[in-house]
Amino acid sequence: MIISHILTRKLYNLNPHVTESKEINNFFVRYSLPPNAGIVHMASNHILVEFSIAGQNEYGRGILDRNLASRTIALINYQLRNAIQTRIVVRNGEVSFPFKIGRAGPENAKKKVQKGDIGYWTQSNVLIIFLSDKETAYPVNIIGHIQQGDIKFFEKLRIGRSIKLERVKSAIDEEDYL
């Protein structure tokens, strides 16, 4: 899979109208993404994201794992080409915020979640960070996990704060392979 994304990246650099395989092209068409969406940072199965509050030096980091929900992660990765800023809601052991990513559907959705899980609720277009082990009232796509120790950042957050979410860097950048 890594090789196909690297080859796709090289082909796009040569001719933006050429795709490496029908499967990759069909994926982008099926999920309403431009043909080159998500090609950057696709060499790794992990995407490092950072959550921060304006005017504070503190931040929390999480890792999105394509092995958990590849379609949802591809849509999120595309939206994170620019940083996202939104207001948070804190309730019942969850930090959540609206984050519309397009046509995402249930993908290995679960009701039982663990402390530190990052989930995406497709019915309401909400990204959720779980602050405790619990069973949700609705199934969510588990897409990653907060890095160890950074959960304290999220436990201190209060409702209505503005939070910024941005992609930091893929755990393994595909440029390392080119």
Element (H, E) at 131: none
Q: Under CATH, what is the fold of the domain 45-176? A: Cyclophilin (2.40.100)
pLDDT digits (tens, 9 = 90+) for 9-52: 443 443 444 444 444 445 445 545 444 444 444 447 889 999 99
What one-character DSSP code corresponds to residue 104?
-
d(CA 86, CA 100): 11
Please give the residue that has the higher pLDDT: either 71 or 57: 71
Residues 6+ apart with CB under 8 A from 130: 93, 94, 113, 114, 115, 116, 117, 118, 119
Q: Which of 76-85, 134-143, 167-176 has the lowest mean pLDDT?
A: 167-176
Q: Where are the domains of the chain?
A: 45-176
Helix (H, G, I), strand (E, B) or coil at 39: coil
51 touches 163 (CB < 8 A): yes
**pTM (predicted TM-score):** 0.70
Element (H, E) at 107: none
| Residue 1 pLDDT class (50, 70, 90 cuts) | very low
Q: pLDDT above 90 covers what percent of the chain?
A: 44
